[in-house]
Structure 1
Amino acid sequence: MTLPTSPAVPPSSPDSSALAEARRLAPRVAARSEEIEAARRLPADLARELAEAGLFRLVIPKALGGPSLHPAQIIEVIETLARADGSTGWCVMIGALTAMSAAWMPEATARTLFGAPDTIVGGVAAPTGRAELVEGGYRVTGRWSWASGSQNCRWLTGGVVVTKDGAPRMIREGIPETRLLWFPIEDVTLHDTWHASGLCGTGSGDMEVRDIFVPADRSLSLLTDRPRVEDPLYALPPFGLLALGIPAVALGIARRAVDELTALAQQKKSPLTGRTIATRGAVQEAVAESEGTLRAARALLIDTVNTTFEAATHKEVTPRGRAELRLAYTHATRSAARVVDRMYEAAGGASVYRSSPLQRCFRDIHVATQHAMVAPATLETIGSVLLGAEANTAML
């Protein structure tokens, strides 16, 4: 069973080539799931094939040779890959959305980092590094966890707190200046720390730099800087754009779980009745409810993304609009987890074996839900906005 195509993404759109490439490569990705899982990273040749297909360039500005896709199309591309393999969808999500930085950089710098059509980038936005302000740029030291897909990257970014003479620079009382700084892979040490319960093939180990110089034009702030490219895509809330792929990965994993349970239900038989479990009322109810949950969550996500994008074309995204966008992300991700749980339980003992894709879906989705952008705490901020209460909306 396939999900309906968003009416905002007509099949005749020239930008649909990215989705066609994702669909073309999906069977090959699925066939290598075990290999990806065992390697604990995306194989270099597969990453290169995905890059050559343009799947890491979904948000690159048109002026730099990218497609600058509509956000609903971005969701479909990532969802398609995550349905084939959750780790691959996650790595493409990280690489593609992190590349949004191209729209915030001086054009010459953006061309250096993102100009090559097969370049893969990644990194971690959390400001766990320190950047001392010096002439012409920064001296940077830091270590970041969850650097997904970093083994295949040419450039990596790390979030930092900016310091001057060793003390944090404050943009206002109690709020230090934070920025994203970009480093060539040669300046980065990758630590093999990714021994995780799920999304095992993402290679999300630690990355570290020690006292390296980063020129000022390789830095940006999503909180205080404005994009240099005029395009509705970059008029979306910056963190809303950065987090766009997380619910897409979750929905793809959940759809795979429904696919797997549906196929299993036609084959697995009850030892008591000899009939397939597709005839069991509990399994039928689980599939029906999960189908409704998944489609409803996806419909809310696509509708909210389309509404926000339309507002962005007129530069009219309100705080409530930003909150509703994040609500759609969190709701889709956590709804997807409930769907996977139902499919895992409905399969019974068959789902616990390493040979069952359902156990991987179960492990992968429960790692995806741990991302800070869709964690339960986001609902507190969202609820505060919807209630008209005071809230810190900077990360929305």
Structure 2
Amino acid sequence: MRRAGPTADTTLPSFIDAAAALAPLVQASAEESERSRRLPTPLVEAMARSGLFRLWIPRGIGGEESDPMTLVRVVEEISRADGAAGWCMAIAGGYGVFGGYLQKEAALEIYGSDPLVRAAGGLRPSGNAMVVDGGYRVTGRWPLGSGCQHSAWIVGGCRILDGDQPRLAADGTPVTRILHFPAAECEILDTWHSIGLRGTGSHDYAVADVFVPTNRSLSFREPPVEQGPLYALPTIAIFGTLLAAVPLGIARHAIDILVELAGTKLAARSRKLLREDVTMQANLGRAEALLRSGRAFLYGALEEAWQVVSEGSTLNLAQRATLWLASTHAANTAKEATELMFSAGGSASPYVSSGLERCVRDIHAAAQHLTVAPANYQMAGQAFLGSDMRSTPLLFTDNRSTNN
């Protein structure tokens, strides 16, 4: 029987306040993050001490098990101060949900034993896990390990092998699982030389013939161990809502910068303050409309999904597609709003000192993620038409998705 979850009203304010309290340190650390291509250790430790990384960890092992909207709001708030820090918050905070899929002993070991624990890694099945007594021998290399340099545990998606042959599911597709490795067993490869989100440290990482016990693995196609409504949501889809919150925060920061600039910069043609320029005013109005509408759709879709699972029901195909659509639309409208602000800033925008150029770089990097990619518009349209979606595995990542 599914346990009732917390309501947003009881969990939201204190955690949003904690995120807002971190914002000055996040902003002050942004230049160092950009230079070193990772978050500074004092910032990571402050984020961990705030308890925000524990929002999606099950209550039974010491986490908060909050409603999903709370962490999305936290990520948005941190991203307003710095997109890279917001992205790392989304990954480390979001991966707490894995504690709801692991058996209790492993969940406690990984997510419950250290109140400051952080996990990172990629879910793409880029590794091979050969079945052996008690677990798996794993070899693989994964890209985009955001936050891997400051995490105690690193995950990797793997193909399961029986001998040298892939194990196949009943539908003929390869069986995959997500495995947890102690960070000390992973080699981090210096690959993150990027246009944006430089501070995320999203390097490649690799393991070679590492043993992983069976209980440190999970699959979204299996029922979660925890029965709270948070773990009844389609996991990849709610990760998308977290990652969409990063562009929302970046776009709001871009608008903040432009509004401040408009009070001091002279427009090139009129030589009046930029705030008096009608084109700038129109761009600002359009940017606000884009950002607010995308944001409202994201939170509305997430709140509707939360209501469904909180009542003990399961999201149908169209409802899951709506989560993907809302994440995609929020990220892409935020990107458009940011580009409008860059354009409105005129000759000031390209300067590093303006901050607008980093907003543009970061938001373009964030919007490349598959959970917010424009291809998801078509995927959602297929679902709304009642089309055969069996060739769209991203909508079928957990056992609840295959029943209706």
Matches within 5 A, 1:315-334: 315-334=313-332
**Aligned twin of 1:357:** 355
Counterpart contact for 1:99–1:122, Cα < 8 Å: no
Tell me, yes or no, if the aligned pair for 1:59 and 1:68 is still in contact at 8 Å.
yes
Name the structure 2 match of 1:186.
184
User: After superposition, what is the alpha-carbon deviation per residue over 1:310-363, rounded to whole angstroms, capped at 9, x for unaligned?
Assistant: 111222311110001110000001111101111111111111011121100000
Confirm or deny: 8 A CA contact 2:238 2:323 kept in the other structure: no
1:158 and 1:254 mapped to 2: Cα distance?
31
User: Which residue in the other structure is 2:31 paired with?
Assistant: 34
Worse overlay, 238-247 or 260-269: 238-247
Q: TM-score, normalised by structure 2?
A: 0.93
Trace 1:63-78 onto structure 2 (pairs within 5 A).
Answer: 63-78=60-75
8 Å contact kept, 2:267–2:277: no
Which has the larger displacement, 232-241 or 256-265? 232-241
Residue matched to 2:223: 226
| Partner SS, residue 316 of structure 1 | coil
Equivalent residue, structure 2, for 1:214: 212
Q: Which residue of 2 aligns with 1:5?
A: none
- Contact residue 240 and residue 325 of structure 1 kept, 8 A: yes
Match among 249, 254, 257 for residue 257 of structure 1: 254
- Greater CA deviation, 234-243 or 124-133? 234-243
Counting only pairs closer than 5 Å after superposition, residues 128-139 of structure 1 correspond to structure 2 as 128-139=126-137
Matched residue type, 2:82: D
The partner residue of 1:378 within 364, 376, 379 is 376
Amino acid at match of 1:394: P
Aligned length: 386
Q: Determine the structure 1 residue equivalent to 2:293.
A: 296
Assess if the C-alpha contact under 8 Å between 1:265 and 1:277 holds in 2. yes
Bigger shift: residues 358-367 or 61-70: 61-70
Q: Secondary structure at the match of 1:309?
A: helix
Please, which runs of 5 or more residues in structure 1 have no aligned partner?
1-7
Distance across 1 between alignment mates of 2:394 and 2:306:
18
For 2:164, the equivalent position in structure 1 comes to 166
Contact 1:181/1:219 (8 A) holds in 2: yes
Contact in 2 for aligned 1:98/1:123 (Cα 8 Å): no
| Contact 1:15 1:67 (C-alpha < 8 Å) held by counterparts | no
1:394 aligns with 2:393: yes
Query: Could you tell me how far 1:219 is from its partner in structure 2?
Result: 0.3
Shift of the alpha carbon at 1:14?
4.4
State the partner residue of 2:121: 123
* C-alpha displacement of 1:275: 1.4
Q: Please tell me whether the aligned partners of residues 57 and 96 of structure 1 are also in contact (alpha carbons under 8 angstroms).
A: yes
Distance 1:190 1:140 in 2: 16
Secondary structure of the residue aligned to 1:133 is: strand
Aligned-partner SS, 1:171: coil
Residue identity matched to 1:359: E
1:67-116 Cα deviation digits (max 9, x unpaired):
11111111110000000000000001011111211000111111110111
Letter in 2 for 1:258: I
Q: Is the aligned partner of 1:79 residue 2:70?
A: no
Per-residue Cα deviation, 1:186-228 (whole angstroms, up to 9, x for no partner):
1100011100000010000001000111000000011x21111
Give 2:280's match in structure 1, choosing from 258, 271, 283. Answer: 283
**Partner-residue secondary structure (3-state), 1:193:** coil
Percent identity, please: 39
| 3-state SS of 1:123 partner | strand
Cα distance between partner residues in 2 of 1:136 and 1:359: 51
**Do 2:247 and 2:363's aligned partners in 1 also have CA atoms closer than 8 Å?**
yes
Is contact 1:244–1:329 with CA below 8 Å preserved after alignment? yes
Q: Tell me which amino acid in the other structure corresponds to 1:94.
A: I
Shift of 1:36: 1.1
Query: Structure 1: which amino acid aligns with 2:393?
Result: A
1:4 paired residue number: none
Structure 2 gaps of 5+ residues are: 1-6, 396-404
Which residue of 251, 259, 265 maps to 1:268?
265
Q: Could you say what secondary structure the match of 1:214 adopts?
A: strand
Q: Tell whether the 8 Å contact from 2:25 to 2:43 is kept in structure 1 after alignment.
A: no
Secondary structure at the residue paired with 2:52? coil
CA contact (8 A) 1:129 1:160 kept: yes
- Per the alignment, residue 113 of structure 1 pairs with 110
Asked if 1 retains the 8 angstrom alpha-carbon contact of 2:119 and 2:151, the reply is: yes
| Distance in 2, Cα, partners of 1:211 & 1:293 | 49
1: distance between equivalents of 2:11 and 2:232? 22
Please state whether the residue corresponding to 1:56 is helix, strand or coil: helix
Instruction: Provide the C-alpha distance between the structure 1 equivalents of 2:58 and 2:366, rounded to a whole number of angstroms.
Output: 28
Taking the aligned partners of 1:86 and 1:380, their CA distance within structure 2 comes to: 27
8 Å CA contact 2:83, 2:250 repeated in 1? yes
Q: Distance in 2 between matches of 1:141 and 1:14?
A: 41
Contact 1:127 1:158 in 2 (8 A): yes
Match of residue 4 from structure 2: none
One-letter identity of the residue aligned with 1:320 = A
**Counterpart contact for 2:241–2:298, Cα < 8 Å:** no
Question: Matched residue of 1:151: which SS?
Answer: helix
Q: Secondary structure at the match of 1:256?
A: helix
Q: Matched residues in 2 for 1:348 and 1:274: separation?
A: 13
CA pair 272-240 structure 1, distance change in 2 beyond 3 A:
closer
CA RMSD of aligned residues (A): 1.2
CA distance in 2: counterparts of 1:339 and 1:356, whole angstroms: 17
1: distance between equivalents of 2:272 and 2:95?
Answer: 49
How far apart, in 2, do the equivalents of 1:90 and 1:368 lie? 8
Alignment partners' CA distance in 1, 2:272 and 2:14? 44
